[in-house]
A and B are shown apart, each in its own frame.
Chain A
């Protein structure tokens, strides 16, 4: 079966509700077959963006193009998309079969073809036994699969998921994550997935779109966002536990890189380019917990007091007070609260952000 082009491009998308603007000129492209995740804190406009793409919300300004064709004025049903709702939105008075068949019936498809498509989707999602049940007689994971099945049978150009896993318990969520990734591999259809959970974003996405307050902060593959966040928000949002931040000032350094003075802890050397930053200007340093090393190495060293320890068995998180940071230690640790512990910040693991929170580029 030939699949229709499932590429998507947004251009200067704006959404206003009455006088309040919630989406401010969002533009990016999604290639056919990509798995894209919109991630951001709640209220960042990611669901609104999704609803504008699928046509449940009108576009105030800008353009939505699917497969190269402008769809702003096309009703939701004609866009060839399928949306999986956070609440699943299964029709409670219909059986699983009827739920999956409803959309096809509306298209006037012959009964035999409907039965065939629903049967196929049910097999793929292991729902064969439940076809005659009502949604209320299903578990959360099964309902989720029915919702996905309802999307699959329509053979859409793009799948849209609106926080589909947030109503499941932690264990099921991990399972469904792999299932969705498998599904994407098998179908090869473009998928757009909205979540506030950066772990879901990191594990599933080909490309992540980080949103904040109706604006795109950064678009890129998961590891690029992780390794090279373009600003302090993305740096803090991607990665768990969060990146550590220390406020400081530009110091008069002697090396090629920017030197940052952390009040009370001395000067840290970085790889960031110093030009354009006046000595004494406010900057901040960021370092991920797993990049902090225990022990002093003669340079970029600090000493902090242990405030708490979380042992996960395979690795341990140590919270320090003064400076207020978390460090990750492989394996188990003997450190206890109150002990002073020396730490080292490797120079190439340091991120520097200027007073506006933008990343200061490294020396090329």
Chain B
């Protein structure tokens, strides 16, 4: 906490604020606003009720109109403060609204109906967080299933990605064999092929293998990533060969060298790849949409998409679900970010 305070109050000069301090803080503040603003707005909006979302002018904080129970009326009525006319200053409840005239009652004297022009009144608002956006998600939709699908695919795909890519990287960085460079170059060359081009052939293969409508259909095509192999290979090149030879002298099998020496020492690079893989799999949309046809196999992004209907969009649920979707990636990033910066710095890749 103390270090955070020091970080936030750091200045260039001693004591007095230099103009560079002003410039830096302005720049950083603007950046924070640009980056964090939309996310904050999303989080706050996800707590708004459907009517709060379409409120104009839009508010930053989740609000809703105050309602009061009035005798003789079955439902609570929305409250307004009258600003002009005979009843100025009074708080009235709206019974109905026709054109530019509203029919209202005084909650204290519900027998008399009062007609008020709608321009002469303002809504009475209060802060209110609509947590039911979140709780409803769990009740109404099969949210748990989508979450599980996403978590399963992300976790399993990431583990397999780390294993396969690190093995490939180990071989490509530490063994000398004929064709090592061509194999590596060919792997990298696949980066030049846009994923949309191989969408159809990939689907055909997945269909033949019976992987459609199946989480493994998302997992298998994704686990071999040239970026991952490249990243890990570059990092493993920096591990001294002496260590491997020492392990060989220590009677370690090649598997054991990989498992006990190379993997633990590649941790920073593995962390980078892990976070990349989690983000890729978690946010992936196009390929799962193609492969996963049945509703119960959907991942979160697909489920999110299904909230946007052709005629109506349930924005409150869409926003709440978007927030839920963002949380795991954010948490993982926060936990691993030290490794990531370290790994990126030492692997010399961006």
Contact = CB atoms under 8 A, between A and B. Distances in A.
The answer to whether A and B interact is: yes
Interface of A: 54, 56, 75-77, 81-83, 85-87, 89-93, 102-103, 106-107, 150, 154
A317 B245 CA distance: 44
Contact of A89 (B240, B251, B253): B240
A106 B265 contact: no
Contact of A102 (B245, B247, B265): B247
Nearest to A78: B251
Nearest to A87: B242
Q: Which 6 A-B residue pairs are closest in the complex by CB-CB distance?
A: A103-B250, A89-B242, A77-B251, A89-B246, A106-B251, A93-B264
Nearest to B252: A106
B11 to A, nearest CB: 35
Interface string B223-258: 000000000000000001011011111111100100
Given A75-B248, A106-B250, A106-B256, 12 more contacts: A56-B245, A77-B248, A77-B249, A77-B251, A83-B245, A85-B242, A89-B242, A102-B247, A102-B250, A103-B250, A106-B253, A107-B251
B129 interface: no
Q: Is the interface of A mostly helix, strand, loop or mixed?
A: loop
A114 to B, nearest CB: 13
**Could you say which of B249, B252, B260, B261 has the most chain A C-beta atoms within 10 Å of its C-beta?**
B249
B249 A82 contact: yes
A102 B260 contact: yes
B252 A102 contact: yes
Contacts of A90: 246
Nearest to B244: A89
A77 B250 contact: yes
Contacts of B248: 56, 75-77
Contact of B261 (A87, A91, A150): A91
B246 A93 contact: no
A87 B261 CA distance: 16
A166 to B, nearest CB: 14
B270 to A, nearest CB: 13
Contact of B243 (A76, A86, A89): A89
A81 to B, nearest CB: 7
Contact of A85 (B246, B251, B264): B246
Contacts of A85: 242, 245-246
B129 to A, nearest CB: 47
Interface in B77-110: none
14 contacts: A56-B245, A75-B248, A77-B251, A77-B252, A83-B245, A86-B242, A89-B240, A91-B243, A91-B261, A93-B265, A102-B252, A107-B251, A150-B250, A154-B250
Contacts of B247: 91, 102
B265 A92 contact: yes
Nearest to B245: A56
A83 B242 CA distance: 11
A76 B252 contact: no
B249 A103 contact: yes
Contacts of A150: 246, 250
A177 to B, nearest CB: 22
Given A77-B250, A92-B265, A102-B260, A87 B240 contact: yes
**Could you say which of B246, B251, B256, B265 has the most chain A C-beta atoms within 10 Å of its C-beta?**
B246
A1 B130 CA distance: 79
Contact of B249 (A54, A87, A92): A54
A262 B149 CA distance: 93
Contacts of A92: 265
A274 to B, nearest CB: 53
Contacts of B249: 54, 56, 76-77, 81-83, 103
B261 A89 contact: no
A150 B242 CA distance: 14
Contacts of A76: 245, 248-249
Nearest to B241: A89
B264 A83 contact: no
Contacts of A86: 242
B174 to A, nearest CB: 13
A193 B261 CA distance: 27
Nearest to A100: B250
Interface in B251-285: 251-253, 256, 260-261, 264-265
Nearest to B248: A76
Contacts of A83: 245-246, 249
Nearest to A77: B251
A123 to B, nearest CB: 21
A93 to B, nearest CB: 5
A6 B252 CA distance: 23
Contacts of A54: 249
Interface in B102-158: none
A83 B251 CA distance: 12
